[in-house]
A and B are shown apart, each in its own frame.
Chain A
């Protein structure tokens, strides 16, 4: 029996290994370009293994890192502050929705999930945020619109539905208020769910370019992803004159191709380092959301 299986096993594993390679390969490609020499790139194109390691791209982008540091600051603030607040707000509505004995449960569910089916479209939303709420070019525009995402509410609600109602009931018997039950019993019990949703939120905030594309023009509020977008066509966004070049690199070819890729690495790096470790939370969240959806 086992012998029979060896053949298919090899093929299946081979297929998956190939696909895994294709998942990692592009990252590897930009990584090696970022370590390549600019003249070598122009003569020979990108290579998968740089002819020689050249750190000038990193020297170039990190020489006057004010803008990059600032973009990092914006991204980090938005991601962490946004996730924290969003987590509280999402839990705040997910919990009543998970309570069978909450009177408004059905009406409120409809109120939340209807927005997943129908929306006002880009123009009214843009007009509202830009012309009436005057949120453009403030840090809040990068945070507020994602604070209550129906999909995350749905996932967290599924987690909270698994908390036995008897626990809540016994707390009520003891005369605890709903607030106390929520903060002292539900939140600690829902930790795995909160962790999962927090990861989704963190990723959403960190990877977001949509809000900055629409509402941010002020240099000091440009987050990392948006900065990358602006550099796609124009590296000079980073350093607008040659005297921004590190001293040893004057009169050398501007490492624009490699610097661009170095920036991509700098921007993608933090998430890549963090997320593989939390992969199991992701799988859990996905399955809860999908199966219960």
Chain B
């Protein structure tokens, strides 16, 4: 008996080691590409001098964060990031839930299949291709531009700042709507048909069913998806804000977001301390927002929490 237990223990030891070895490559990669950079946040507290190198450059405390209070740029960029994300989350979630519910009402199975396939189209394009598409509409020879020209309006989209919040929202929704609706649609498909049958017997109308069955039962998924997007509220789709407005400086006031700002600062001025200060601000705020929103959800409904 004792001997057998011993064998089992060595077996379990061997098992754990072997499973660990299987996971090792991923563990190492994640360590190098995610955890080592985390240790690198100390750059934000240094005045980086290329000749001295990262480790021998002088410490400057919170000096790199000072310009948060002296420059208007940072706040503009933070404001842009947050307002675009709030807009995208609100409009995107709402529309995709409506789409998912309506898709569930389509009777023809064949049509549903066709819609699903086509809905994914925008998801397959890289942001660069999307930028080409936008250009083919609003560029100097674009479809929309020439249409406007024909009715006597000369409009240069790439210099007018006021249209870009609308354009960027349109493009963002266009690219993500199909994808999001399919996720919610799958959620609706997971709801047991019995609920609807029972409601139909009781004489409930379609609208009542949607309000009393579909939406409440979809709520956990909606909460998770929203939480995930809120967790990324300090991050933007770099491609959308970088490629679609074609890097036109005139448009920066409405197209610059934290990600593009850090990238441009890194590439142009090469001020590593300052750009990593902004980056650290972004990571820290993002982290706090996830924890906070998860905490709130936990209070409201334990089951819907993320972790």
Contact = CB atoms under 8 A, between A and B. Distances in A.
A18 B114 CA distance: 13
Nearest to A125: B37
A30 B23 contact: no
B15 to A, nearest CB: 6
Interface in A111-150: 111-113, 115, 117-128, 131, 133, 144-145, 147-148, 150
Contacts of A102: 15-16, 19
Contact of B15 (A12, A92, A178, A264): A178
29 contacts: A19-B99, A19-B119, A19-B177, A23-B119, A29-B133, A29-B137, A29-B143, A30-B132, A45-B142, A46-B139, A48-B143, A95-B23, A118-B287, A120-B34, A120-B40, A123-B44, A124-B39, A128-B33, A128-B40, A147-B29, A148-B25, A172-B11, A178-B18, A178-B22, A206-B126, A210-B238, A229-B243, A264-B128, A275-B120
Contacts of A8: 105
A20 B106 contact: no
A147 B280 CA distance: 24
Interface centre among A24, A88, A111, by most chain B C-beta atoms within 10 angstroms, is A111
A229 B128 CA distance: 6
A124 B16 contact: no
A167 interface: no
Interface string A4-48: 010011001101100110111011011001000000011011111
Contacts of A182: 22
A230 B209 CA distance: 52
A238 to B, nearest CB: 15
Contact of A119 (B37, B43, B143, B228): B37
Contact of B115 (A20, A112, A117, A264): A20
Given A19-B178, A148-B26, 13 more contacts: A29-B136, A45-B145, A102-B15, A118-B287, A123-B43, A124-B40, A179-B22, A203-B124, A207-B126, A260-B132, A279-B116, A279-B120, A291-B221
B246 A283 contact: no
Contacts of A47: 143, 146
B219 interface: no
A291 B126 contact: no
B30 A121 contact: no
B279 A264 contact: no
Label chain B's interface by main secondary structure. Answer: helix
Interface in B144-201: 145-146, 149, 174, 177-179, 182-183, 186-187, 190
A286 B121 contact: no
B82 interface: no
B136 A26 contact: yes
Label chain A's interface by main secondary structure. Answer: helix
Interface of B: 11-12, 14-16, 18-27, 29-30, 32-41, 43-44, 54, 99, 102-103, 105-108, 111, 114-122, 124-137, 139, 141-143, 145-146, 149, 174, 177-179, 182-183, 186-187, 190, 221, 224-225, 228, 231, 238-239, 243, 246-247, 259, 262-263, 266, 272, 275-276, 279-280, 282-283, 286-287, 290, 306-307
A233 interface: yes
Contacts of A125: 33, 37, 40
A158 interface: no
Nearest to B267: A214
A115 to B, nearest CB: 4
B182 A121 contact: no
Contacts of B247: 233
Contacts of B143: 29, 45-48
Interface residues of A, number: 96
Given A95-B19, A209-B128, A283-B182, A9 B106 contact: yes
Contact of B119 (A20, A42, A104): A20
Interface centre among A103, A124, A144, A233, by most chain B C-beta atoms within 10 angstroms, is A124
Contacts of A147: 25-26, 29
A267 interface: yes
Nearest to B121: A23
A248 interface: no
Interface centre among A8, A33, A101, A148, by most chain B C-beta atoms within 10 angstroms, is A148
B166 to A, nearest CB: 15
Given A124-B40, A127-B272, A293 B19 contact: no
B104 to A, nearest CB: 10
A197 B178 CA distance: 19
A290 B221 contact: yes
A123 to B, nearest CB: 4
A283 B116 contact: yes
B283 A128 contact: no
A79 interface: no
A30 to B, nearest CB: 5
B132 A228 contact: yes
A161 to B, nearest CB: 15
Nearest to B30: A148
Contact of A96 (B19, B44, B116, B134): B19
A95 B22 contact: yes
Contacts of A144: 29, 33
